[in-house]
Structure 1
Amino acid sequence: MNGDRAPLLLLLFATVTAGAGNGISIVAFPWLALQHNGSASAAAVVATAGTVPLLASTLLAGAAVDYLGRRRVSMLSDALSGLSVAMVPVLVLLCGAGAINVLSLSALAALGAVFDPAGMTARISMLPEAAERAGWSLDRANGGYQAAFNLAYIVGPGIGGVLIATLGGAQTMWVTAGLFVAALLAVGMIRLAGAGRPDRAKLPERLWPGIVEGLRFVCHNRVLRTLAAVDLIINGLYVPIESVLFPKYFTDRGQPQQLGWVLMALAAGGLIGALGYAVTARHLPRRSTLIAAMLTLGVTTTVIAFLPPLPLILVLSLLVGLVYGPIGPIYNYVMQTRAPAQLRGRVVGVMGSLAYAAGPVGLIIAGPLADAAGLTVTFLALSVPMLAVGLAALALPSLRELDRR
């Protein structure tokens, strides 16, 4: 059935542009920190500053989406995220290059982390209505969204690595700000049921009880509770690899482009996996897909721990992205179908907040450990527990609900 695809296409375009802006930031912020003093601990501090606020801001973002409206929150998020990254070159212009240090980078990374989750939460919350308008199944729309998200992380890090090598890290942030503005304009053109002002009569009068309502819903739903716990552990182990260990390895080699290539390989695999899932979702058991992804992640990062040649790292990164491509659509589908419409933003926010909760712990440990024991030991300290989580997931009965309507 053919429908009006304009809102869905605008939503996917905003996902690509905002995600590309974040993809550039993933390369640029650690690179600027490492350029300042070459320490993995310094890069970990900046990465942690960009992660710690996610725990609270994602929780608040979900409430903001339900209380203020999905389109409005998405636009506000992109405007403020663009402002936070534009402050890097502005500081250089006003105060000189010396103003870009670990402290200022940490503050700006934290500022961006406060605003970014709201835009992502708002866009995920608009997907069911956009899919219905377009005549797409929800699985197909979620697969398309995840493909757009991964496309952004192909374009973003690749552009970031090239721009850092040509313009420098600080000036690269102007491009990042422009991408956030493009996302803002696209969402501003969306006219969709449920995207505007919410019906406040269906919401708790005060904000905190509304947030608690979302927390309670997730805690009382067995499959959501299990997915949140799995995501928390895996993210706590994986985030330091992408945010500290890879930047440290390629900074020591003086190759920002190669860091971009690895992140692009991860995203390219994710793009292929998400597009494939959009087509084959009816035939792929969700539980088997999730467990296979966790086991593959553990095995591949264990191999990467021994720092093989770059072509093998790229192949393994592509494989990780490929098996993880369907995971975002699966999580989104479960959240969108389990939560009522007026609670959807808060459920997405709670799940996102719990996913980020362990990231700062992993970053705080990984940076000093890499400086003291080396990259191989640190990679193994993160990859072996990931493999154990995948094996433990085989015995979790609640994951069988992923394949029940």
Structure 2
Amino acid sequence: MTGSYPGGSASSRRLTPLAAPLAALVAASGISSLGMAATLVAVPWFVLHSTGSGTRTGLVATAEVLGLLCSAVLAGPVVDRLPVRATSVGADLLTAAAISLIPLLHSWDALPLPVLIVLVFLVGAARGPSDTSKQLLLPAAMERAGVTAERATGCVEGARRIGMMAGAPLAGLLISTVGPVRTLYADMAAMALCALLVTALVPVVARARPAGGAAGGSYAGELRFGLAQLRRDRLLGAMVGVLMLTNALDGALNGVLYPAYGTQVLHSSALFGAMITAMGAGALLGAALYGWAGHRLPRRAAFVGAFVLVGAVRCAALAAEPRVPVLLAALALSGIGSGVVGPLMMSVAYERVPEEVRGRVFGLLVAVALAATPLGMLGAGLVLDASGLVAALLGTGALYLAVTLAPLVLPVWRELDARGSAGTSGTSGTSGTSGIAEGPAGSRSSSPTAPVAGILTEQA
């Protein structure tokens, strides 16, 4: 038959170039997460193992979040103005350069704690525009590939979780062989490879003209316009409030209490990596399940259930100090919730934010959601030193449960179940309450991802 395999039909031959940008961005998500997992394991392990101080570990973990927070606030208008692919590549290379300085200075015996804090801050500051620019590249890649939002977000989240799942044990192995500081070379190589993938396979994206006087407007005016867009949407405001508090608790868990558990209870960097791998395996399953059935689930119930698994279940499992197989199984169960949260939030944010202001609004979403994370990390370090690991875990779990039950009480969360219809950027139930529910003419409601996805339970 003409056009049959092995040669393939004309339409099938056209599929590969059309899908290449999406495949590259999905791969970049996984690769950057693998490198980030190495940093996540190596830096806190290095500080806690070398100093024995939960407070100092919290300071270092806080530095990267502060860098990301600053770049999220300040880089939004810049990302809206600059060529988005060039911004992505440049930010990846800057991240790689900042990471490479840590092992380099350590080899020269020139890495005191203040210098490490500054370098980790720079790494976080570079990751912000790197992540945002890739999120802005995704809608065009999705449209070229013709993939639905649920499946697309499942692919992106799945790749990210695979990277975390593979990167954690790799980091544990590298720490035991070359040491925690040299392990950071894995993250450096990952970011360089991401830059190469985007350069080679992702085409230049034509950007919509920035709205609200962004073209030629003042920098402060652009920030104010993005903030006004965010403030008009009550549901996004409620979502960001929950994210701000849960990210603070995630920062406490992942930046301080996880490393403490690895050193005080497991006494093994490899098992510490296995904890993160178990969460990643569960999250991969959760992302796959949401990609398969997410469009049929009530969003509010899925949101609450997922966060209960991510927070209360995880803290209770850690505080019980069970045998390692039981612990890893409980963490995998908790990870399922993490895998659901990411794609769910991706879909909601893209339905409600117009294309021409996404750089600013996405950056502000990230900034506000991360605002309390440093306090969570610092607080966890202080509680760990004062009251011990079990007390810190139980307190974190109780607070997490209280925060994530809020959507069952407050009426604004009912809007979460009002999905946008095809061909619009808004949701059917929000046009009267949201100033950013409607997107630009011709925009697609199936846009794939959102800025908050990478920071919800990113370090879990």
Both structures adopt the same fold (TM-score exceeding 0.5): yes
8 Å CA contact 2:29, 2:160 repeated in 1: yes
Q: What is the letter of the counterpart of residue 61 of structure 1?
A: A
Q: Secondary structure at the match of 1:323?
A: helix
Q: In the alignment, which residue of structure 2 is the partner of 1:231? A: 243
Aligned counterpart in structure 1 of residue 232 of structure 2, from 220, 240, 262: 220
Specify the code of the residue in structure 1 equivalent to 2:81: Y
One-letter amino acid of the counterpart of residue 379, structure 1? L
**Do the aligned partners of residues 139 and 63 (structure 1) sit closer, same or farther apart at CA in structure 2, a change above 3 Å counting?**
farther
1:301, CA displacement in angstroms?
1.2
Structure number with the bigger relative contact order (C-alpha 8 A, sep ≥ 6) is: 1
Name the CA distance, whole Å, in 1 between partners of 2:315 and 2:195.
Answer: 36
> Which of residues 139, 145, 148 in structure 1 aligns to 2:150?
139
Select 1:83's aligned residue among 64, 88, 97. Answer: 97
* Greater fraction helix: 1
Residue 169 of structure 1: aligned partner: 180
Matched, 1:246 2:258: yes
Partner of 2:54: 40
TM-score, normalised to structure 1, is: 0.94
In structure 2, the CA distance between the partners of 1:307 and 1:102, relative to structure 1 (3 Å rule), is farther
Matches within 5 A, 1:386-401: 386-401=400-415
Larger Cα-atom Rg: 2
Match for residue 170 of structure 2 among 155, 159, 163:
159
Q: Give the letter aligned to residue 311 of structure 1.
A: P
Q: 1:282 is paired with a residue of what secondary structure?
A: helix
- Contact 1:237/1:386 (<8 A) preserved: yes
Question: Alpha-carbon deviation of 1:370?
Answer: 0.4
- Give distance in 2, aligned partners of 1:285 and 1:371: 42
Per the TM alignment, residue 300 of structure 1 is displaced from its structure 2 partner at its CA by 3.3
Say yes or no: does 1:280 pair with 2:293. Answer: yes
Which of 365, 373, 384 is the equivalent residue of 2:379? 365
Residue 180, structure 1, aligned to residue 194, structure 2: no
Paired residue type of 1:188:
T
Partner amino acid for 2:236? L
Residue 43 of structure 2: aligned partner? 29
Q: Quote the residue 2:268 is aligned against.
A: 255
Task: Tell me the distance in 2 between the aligned counterparts of 1:278 and 1:130.
Answer: 18
Q: Is the CA contact 2:54–2:256 (under 8 Å) kept in the aligned structure 1?
A: yes
Conserved? CA contact 2:85–2:133, under 8 Å: yes
Which residue of structure 1 lines up, in the alignment, with residue 284 of structure 2?
271
Aligned residues: 401
Shift of 1:82: 0.5
Does the alignment pair 1:293 with 2:306? Answer: yes
Deviation at 1:197, TM superposition (A): 6.2
Partner of 1:59: 73
Task: State the TM-score, normalized to the length of structure 2.
Answer: 0.83
Tell me the amino acid that sits aligned with residue 171 of structure 2. G
Identity of aligned residues (%): 31
Matches within 5 A, 1:339-378: 339-378=353-392
Q: Is the 8 A contact 1:17 1:152 kept in 2?
A: yes
Query: 1:60–1:182: structure 2 CA closer, same or farther, 3 Å change rule?
Result: same
Cα offset, 1:192, TM superposition: 4.2
In structure 1, the residue matched to 2:417 is 403
Q: Secondary structure at the match of 1:32?
A: helix
Query: Contact between 2:164 and 2:276, CA under 8 Å: does it hold in 1?
Result: yes
Instruction: Give structure 1 stretches of 5+ with no counterpart.
Output: none
Deviations 1:165-198 (A, max 9, x none): 11111221222211110000111124446x3566
Between the aligned partners of 1:395 and 1:92, the Cα distance in structure 2 is 51
Amino acid paired to 2:272:
L
Residues 314-352 of structure 1: CA deviation (Å, up to 9, x unaligned) = 112111210121211121112212111111122221111
Q: What is the one-letter code of the residue matched to 1:39?
A: S
Q: What is the rounded CA distance, in whole Å, between the counterparts of 1:394 and 1:75 in structure 2?
A: 42
2: CA distance, partners of 1:203 / 1:116:
24
For residues 378 and 283 of structure 2, the distance between their equivalents in structure 1, rounded to whole angstroms, comes to: 27
CA contact (8 A) 2:210 2:356 kept: no
